[in-house]
Structure 1
């Protein structure tokens, strides 16, 4: 905590002339904190000390001996910005924001952004950010060194990237390029990246910004999916599988031996990125059709799972709906926190348990037996038994 009472004014800067309130705060400041490019771009009071942002702890040490401090930050400093850290130290602060860098980037290319997901890769793990970009058609990314357009371009095929560098400055640069081109380019850090899947962008008007949250219903009936001869994970099984897989934004789920893709599609409805692997080309077409019908993205790979898994991005959770013991072993060996296996034959259960255990997973499971209400002649009903399914799951401790 500061040794003396500190008045802190946080000024958002987007390259435009400062407001009267911002200039007044600067005039009385004895210390001005900011990135070097911000401090060089603003006329500072002659008697004020300056601190170039680097170590956050160093910033607070510098503040300890000053009563009036101004902090200069990009855009809206309350949006993934320094306001949070200042508040966490118990400081009383005043914020004078500029338009956020995300709003400025979208405005630069004339796109609305109420339907965009906004994520930060600045000082954070890149993989969840990449998974959000896989799952959603319009994503804004606040980048950082080693976690920007170049790195995401290597992860994401078939995307359009808008890269906004040095927003609000005289050398501002806005580029629109393919994700492949971005993977082989160099950019100033930090920058704002807009990741667009143009095949899925719509003009539909929503009522809530960004991700709309979990779907209103899940474990949908089999009639909600195109499938072949009832070859589909039944809704009762799917309900428990979804509970164990825990799909949500930032996570990647594999749907292996996907069949109709019902599990993968439902995971995508929760905001997860999904890769479905299915060796039958006709079934792969059904998966794509089911994903499109439910308005979600599922990346489909037509391949034998036993030879395809090494080419997939690292999963957070895996559902195995088809494949032999070699497939179960390969999935169990992944870093995924959870692997869920659905089996119809009792003979396969011991091997599956053994493999999940072999790779250090805590194993549990149930035999799901359900009977569905079925109409009989004369306004009568009965409960018709469905085929039992063994559902096993292995969780990393």
Structure 2
């Protein structure tokens, strides 16, 4: 049979010792094989890629043990083994993240845990921008220095870098991002990225990041006086098309009050608000503080500053860029290849919304987006007769749009029909035990 043993430097469990003593083949990561109780005739293979080392090995007629770090079911090898058809027995130790937070002396039920490995550095960085307590599992090209270079100096954070946890070279180092970019690191396993003002966090009922907002498309007065922002009904549609998620970077360009960016931040996305007007920037900062979220502020015209901002996953272009400026901004942002772009087709004098919308759709199509547009109008139904709100034209584009409904995925379980629940023997109003 195949057994996966997690090791973290603490004494092995009795089950782990028994599995190792009876193994004909032991495969492990370098540094995890020393001092293990094995039979003298057991074959030992040290390998960085354990799944590759297991290729061609018959586990049906011999006992094979894989030795890994921590919990193999937590960002570990277990998923890959199951996908390859194995059904291993798993004997885990404490996860690496738990050990890292123990070293830092912090509770971690409210921490967001992400992996920067396998090309996910950018998403991990965005999570660190948006959340005050993040554990980042590192890898080659995605270590403390790379994290620090992406975060510094815009996002003030402190790092707890854990190297070779529970190994002979274990070292736990507290550094600022600026220092992390220049120091040499040896086998960093995990980096805790902390906003020291909120590192302790609050007691919670759910593990990981806080749940999403209880409500969204907040009323206009939630963003102060002065107008300039989107009506809640229009904002709801914009948010639906932007689809902000943890790990995303969203640009809120010229929204007027920062409401779109603030709501995206409430969903867990990293956000940069961009506006040319100084007074509007101050208003956005006030609204950000009011809602207690993280939104970076960039002053200037997005057409000239786009190249200096973090790579976007979704972009909103608001009514502040009216007339020809709107399509120009769409063209600039679309060239950066975000997954989703939503824009208000605001008209200048002597132009209508349809003309502006058509130019925006053409700009999106030039960069490979699938485009649509809609005109939204809302008429409040209350006791006071009010004229209908002016229509707002929204243009949006998506890249790599998913096609629905042609063939069901072979990995999706079929719909199951359950039998009817048994009738309640109690009479109406009669208590049951």
> TM (normalized to structure 2)?
0.84
Q: Which runs of 5+ in 1 are unaligned?
A: 1-6, 375-379
Which residue in the other structure is 1:168 paired with?
166
RMSD: 1.9
CA distance in 1, matches of 2:76, 2:364: 43
CA distance in 1, matches of 2:205, 2:280: 35
CA distance in 2, matches of 1:199, 1:312: 25
Picking from 376, 379, 384, the partner of 1:371 is 379
Picking from 249, 253, 256, the partner of 2:253 is 256
1:311 equivalent to 2:312? Answer: no
Post-superposition Cα deviations, 1:146-180, rounded to whole Å, max 9, x if no partner, equal 11111111111221111001111232100011112
**Alignment size in residue pairs:** 385
Which residue in the other structure is 2:80 paired with?
85
1:48 equivalent to 2:42? Answer: yes
Which residue in the other structure is 1:269 paired with?
266
Which residue in the other structure is 1:138 paired with?
133
Which residue in the other structure is 2:404 paired with?
none
Which residue in the other structure is 1:360 paired with?
368
CA distance in 1, matches of 2:360, 2:86: 55
Picking from 396, 399, 402, the partner of 1:396 is 399
CA distance in 1, matches of 2:165, 2:200: 27
Post-superposition Cα deviations, 1:79-123, rounded to whole Å, max 9, x if no partner, equal 111122222233332222211110110010111101100011233
Which residue in the other structure is 1:212 paired with?
210
Is the contact between residue 145 and residue 189 of structure 1 (CA under 8 Å) also seen in structure 2?
Answer: no
CA distance in 2, matches of 1:202, 1:371: 46
The 1:65–1:202 alpha-carbon spacing in structure 2 relative to 1, beyond 3 Å, is closer
Is the contact between residue 143 and residue 189 of structure 1 (CA under 8 Å) also seen in structure 2?
Answer: no
The 1:72–1:261 alpha-carbon spacing in structure 2 relative to 1, beyond 3 Å, is same
Return the offset for 1:294: 2.4
Q: Which runs of 5+ in 2 are unaligned?
A: 348-352, 401-433
1:273-352 alignment, distance < 5 Å? 273-321=270-318, 322-323=320-321, 324=325, 325-345=327-347, 346=353, 347-352=355-360
Which residue in the other structure is 2:426 paired with?
none
Picking from 222, 225, 228, the partner of 1:224 is 222
Return the offset for 1:65: 7.4
Is the contact between residue 225 and residue 262 of structure 1 (CA under 8 Å) also seen in structure 2?
Answer: yes
1:115 equivalent to 2:110? Answer: yes
Which residue in the other structure is 1:30 paired with?
24
Is the contact between residue 261 and residue 276 of structure 1 (CA under 8 Å) also seen in structure 2?
Answer: yes
The 1:257–1:85 alpha-carbon spacing in structure 2 relative to 1, beyond 3 Å, is same
Instruction: Judge which range, 106-115 or 9-18, deviates more.
Output: 9-18
Return the offset for 1:396: 2.3
CA distance in 1, matches of 2:307, 2:394: 25
Return the offset for 1:35: 0.5
CA distance in 1, matches of 2:119, 2:46: 22
